[in-house]
Chain A
Amino acid sequence: AQSVTQPDIHITVSEGASLELRCNYSYGATPYLFWYVQSPGQGLQLLLKYFSGDTLVQGIKGFEAEFKRSQSSFNLRKPSVHWSDAAEYFCAGARNTGTASKLTFGTGTRLQVTL
């Protein structure tokens, strides 16, 4: 069965520090991969996506993610965190059948930013 794992439930970083959120996937073939962010009581906003090609993908708000097939990982990074980045982050995967209309989500990582 397909699965997406986010090993870290909660991470705290200082404003200005770098950030890396981990995501591992288990799919029969390389899936589509996504990172979404959710503020309290809100919907999900797409940060970035990987379909194929370049393994380093750039997203919005200064985020990037690197796809590593050998490690089945798709970790999210940001060089300098801002207080407004505090939110919950979800990694998601979908079978690479053309459309990402059935997503499997990780359990999420809650990011806290200290000033």
Chain B
Amino acid sequence: KAGVTQTPRYLIKTRGQQVTLSCSPISGHRSVSWYQQTPGQGLQFLFEYFSETQRNKGNFPGRFSGRQFSNSRSEMNVSTLELGDSALYLCASSPGGGMNTEAFFGQGTRLTVV
């Protein structure tokens, strides 16, 4: 079974630009969550999508948005990039329904804002 796939692995963007990151979950998983990892703030939850609907949201500004498609693939968008948005962005997939299910993470996308 293929794992969680995130593309691209590395990105360099200029301040003020926007960026879109992609995540393909494990086949059959309907929940996709996004996390930001920085040396200063650690791992922070951004949002979760389940069946194309945002189910949970963390404390990030509106510049951070996401969506999920009918095949459960998810994209995350950051507009008006700031230097502080430089981070490793991790996507996690889980079945999304039922009890006692864990999350599986992708390799991440390393975003550098210059």
Chain A interface residues (CB < 8 Å from chain B): 32, 34, 36, 41-46, 49, 51-52, 90, 92, 98-108
Contacts and interface: CB of A to CB of B under 8 A. Distances in A.
Contacts of B42: 105-108
A102 B33 contact: yes
B102 A44 contact: no
Given A36-B105, A43-B90, A99-B31, A105 B100 contact: no
Nearest to B6: A43
Interface string B22-39: 000000000101010000
A90 B90 contact: no
Given A42-B108, A43-B90, A44-B90, A103 B98 contact: no
B56 A101 contact: yes
B31 A103 contact: no
Interface-centre pick from B44, B50, B100, B102 (highest chain A CB count, 10 A): B102
A108 B94 CA distance: 22
Interface of B: 4, 6, 31, 33, 35, 42-45, 48, 50, 55-56, 58, 88, 90, 92, 94-108, 110
10 contacts: A41-B108, A99-B96, A99-B97, A101-B48, A103-B33, A103-B45, A103-B92, A105-B35, A105-B43, A108-B43
B95 A99 contact: yes
For the residues of B in contact with A, the DSSP-based class is strand
Contacts of A52: 100
Contact of A101 (B55, B88, B106): B55
A101 B108 contact: no
A101 B96 contact: yes
Contact of B56 (A51, A92, A102): A102
Please list the 4 inter-chain residue pairs (A to B) with the smallest Cβ-Cβ separation, ordered nearest first. A105-B43, A44-B105, A51-B100, A43-B105
Interface-centre pick from B95, B97, B103, B106 (highest chain A CB count, 10 A): B103
Contacts of B99: 51, 98-99
